[in-house]
Structure formats: C-alpha cells, structure tokens
Structure 1
Amino acid sequence: MALMPRRVKHRKSQRGRIKGNATRGNRVVFGDYGIQSLEPGWIKAATIEAGRIAAQQYVRGEGKLYIRIFPDKSVSSTPLETRMGKGKGEPDFWAASVKPGTILYELSGVTEQQAKVCFARLASKMPVKVRFVSRRPA
C-alpha cells in the first residue's frame, strides 16, 4: 500500500517551486549509509514503495532500511480529452517534494559493498539523480 497522509487540511495543493538546497534531512542520521538526491523533484508514493520493496528484497532481514521522505503533497490532474474550464482536477497521486541534498533512504547493519549494490538497484527507480553517501563521524 502506497504512503499517504491520514488527513490533510486542504485536499488540493498548488504546484509550487522547489528552490534552493535542503537544509534539513540532508545528512545520514539513522543508518550507516544513504542515498542523497542531487536534483529537485517530486517522488511519487508508488515510487517510494517500489524502492522500499527493492531494498527489502536485497537486504533480506540482514540490515534495517529507513525511509526518510514522506509523500505529503497531493498532485491533481484532469482526465484526458476533457475540455478547458470546469475547475481544478481531482487529486491523482501523493508525492514527496525533494530538494537537492535530501537523504531519501538509509541502511544500517550491512557492509559498504552490500549497501552500494542495494542503493544501485534503488537509484534506477528514482526520478531524480542520486548519490551514495555514508555517515560522517560526529
């Protein structure tokens, strides 16, 4: 089941613009390794779920996967071949708005080589360019 908020204040949201780099959620905190977004974009809830499944299948209970993004933006669309007018379309899907530098997923309990292979599988599913990062010593 794809992620979505339990309830929201407003059903439909405006598109907006993604400006600047991430100042929060931009370093590995929970795990040892992570993948970081290099460009802005929306990541659909279904894409987040597809990444989770791909990582879980590779890790197979050895390590722990942390998902650091949540789809809290509703994206609406009007049906195809509909005439102009008649207002804004119905919410179509939920997406997470991602800035450059945001950590998307984290892994702990696996070796660096295993994490790299796992995140390479995950990166192919992401709609934004990502890179492999590891935790900085505090």
Structure 2
Amino acid sequence: MGPRLNIFQGLQLTFSRPASSALPASTRCFSTTFPSSNWLIPKHREKRKSQKGRPRMPTGGSSRGTTVIWGDYGLRMRDHDRRVSAEQLRIGFETIQKRLRGMKYKFYPRVAANIGVYTSGNEQRMGKGKGKFDYWAARVAVSRIIFELKGDLHEKVAREAFRLAAAKMPGLYEFVKKGDPPMVGLTKLQNGVTLESLKKARREVPLNSETKSSPSTPEGSTPAQ
C-alpha cells in the first residue's frame, strides 16, 4: 500500500471557480440589448382564450393611429374595421419587399398580430369555448395605418408597392403621406372640419319646444267625439 499512496501525493484538487481575470475586461455576463421581437408572433402565448371581440372604435373623437408618424408614406384602411390574420400581413409585407428589392428603405409595421383565434372542428356539439388555437391575428380599426415606409423612394414607387400589398390583403386601403390630416372614423379633419364641430349637435333645438301647437283639422271634417 505504501508505493501506491506515493503516486497521489503530488496531486492537488481545487474546487474553486477560475479567476475572473481570465476573461477580458470588456466581456459582460448579461446582455444590454433588447431581444428581437416579432410583430407577427407574440413572445408569450395566451394564458386564456381571447374572445372574438371587435376592433377599437374611437367614439370619443380620438384620431390616434390615423396619421403617418415614423415614415414618409403609409397604407391606411378606409372601408371598415376587421380582423387581419398574421399570414395575410406577412404576404403583404413580402409583396412590398419584392417590389422594393435593391432599394434603400425602412419598413415600419403599425399593427401587431397578438390576438389568438380559436376554431372548432367539424362535428362538434353546439356551444362556445371548445375551439383550439388556429392562428394569430390583429384587430384593425377603420382609418388605421397598417404599414409605413421611409427612405430614398419616389412617391410613385411607394404608391405602387402599397397597391400591390393591398391587393393581397382583405379590405380597401388608401395611400397617405406624412402631413395628411387625421381622421375620426371616416371623416377627415380638414377644410374647416374640426373635432369640436363634430361634437356639436347637428340640429339646434328651439327654446320654445315645450309649447306644442295642436294639430289643425282639415276642412269639411268633424272632430271625433
């Protein structure tokens, strides 16, 4: 046993971590950048099934989201509100990419597909709440900006790219530029039309509306007794 123990006398086992001086001084153990986000797929799945719902209606006169903010040109929905799936938005984005291939531009999506759509299969009993997840979608209100473009682009080129993208997506769209007036519902705030004028009563009620005149009887007729 003696000679065998002499073999391990020179070994020294250390269980401590390596010194931090082995790493360069500029290396950090955490990231200071934001994770890459996807506007077509949310980062986290829904904890509860989302209801079918309806897009936001600006009943109070809000014009938020109806003007171009980040880019120079935009695509705005103009017929009525609807639910647009993530696949339809992706096809519209890829159509713009193909048309503007080789050009320098920036693309800004103004909507995000963060609403889960659940559908039930065939031969299901009546009732709600039994559907399984099908796809992601976005609720787009009327007069809402969907896409924006910015860069060294001619107006005709951007208009053509948006026209091709609108043909691939459901609904009717219009081309807008930066500086165009905002909209409240389907009404543009221009040519003297203001938010205060829209909130006013369309018909003024007279002050003597309480006193009503009795209906007159036609000639040759006797009043009913």
Distance 2:39 2:91 in 1: 9
TM-score of the aligned structures, taking structure 1 as reference length: 0.88
Output the amino acid matched with 2:101. Answer: R
Summarize deviations over 1:56-75 as a string: whole Å, max 9, x none. Answer: 11111412221111001111
Output the amino acid matched with 1:77. Answer: T
**2:109 aligns with one of 49, 55, 67:** 67
Runs in 1 of length 4+ with deviation above 6 angstroms? Answer: none
The answer (yes or no) to whether the contact 1:35–1:103 under 8 Å persists in 2 is yes
Moved more, 57-66 or 27-36: 57-66
State how 1:106-121 maps to structure 2 within 5 Å. Answer: 106-109=148-151, 110-121=153-164
The answer (yes or no) to whether the contact 1:55–1:65 under 8 Å persists in 2 is no
* % identical equivalent positions: 36
Question: Is structure 2 residue 75 aligned with structure 1 residue 5?
Answer: no
Residues 103, 32 of structure 1: CA spacing in aligned structure 2 closer, same or farther, 3 A cutoff?
A: same
Partner of 2:98: 57
**2:67 aligns with one of 15, 19, 27:** 27
Distance 1:101 1:10 in 2: 31
Output the amino acid matched with 1:90. Answer: K
> Secondary structure of the residue that 1:92 maps to in structure 2?
strand
Higher strand share: 1
Q: Based on CA coordinates, which of the two structures has the bigger radius of gyration?
A: 2
Residues 84, 96 of structure 1: CA spacing in aligned structure 2 closer, same or farther, 3 A cutoff?
A: same
Distance 2:128 2:149 in 1: 46
The answer (yes or no) to whether the contact 1:32–1:108 under 8 Å persists in 2 is yes
The answer (yes or no) to whether the contact 1:11–1:74 under 8 Å persists in 2 is no
TM-score of the aligned structures, taking structure 2 as reference length: 0.56
Residues 86, 75 of structure 1: CA spacing in aligned structure 2 closer, same or farther, 3 A cutoff?
A: closer
Total equivalences in the alignment: 137
The answer (yes or no) to whether the contact 2:74–2:175 under 8 Å persists in 1 is yes
The answer (yes or no) to whether the contact 2:39–2:113 under 8 Å persists in 1 is no
Output the amino acid matched with 1:42. Answer: R
Moved more, 92-101 or 5-14: 5-14
Residues 10, 128 of structure 1: CA spacing in aligned structure 2 closer, same or farther, 3 A cutoff?
A: farther
- Gapped regions of structure 2 (runs ≥ 5): 1-37, 181-225
Residues 86, 131 of structure 1: CA spacing in aligned structure 2 closer, same or farther, 3 A cutoff?
A: closer
Structure with larger RCO (C-alpha < 8 A, sep 6+) = 1
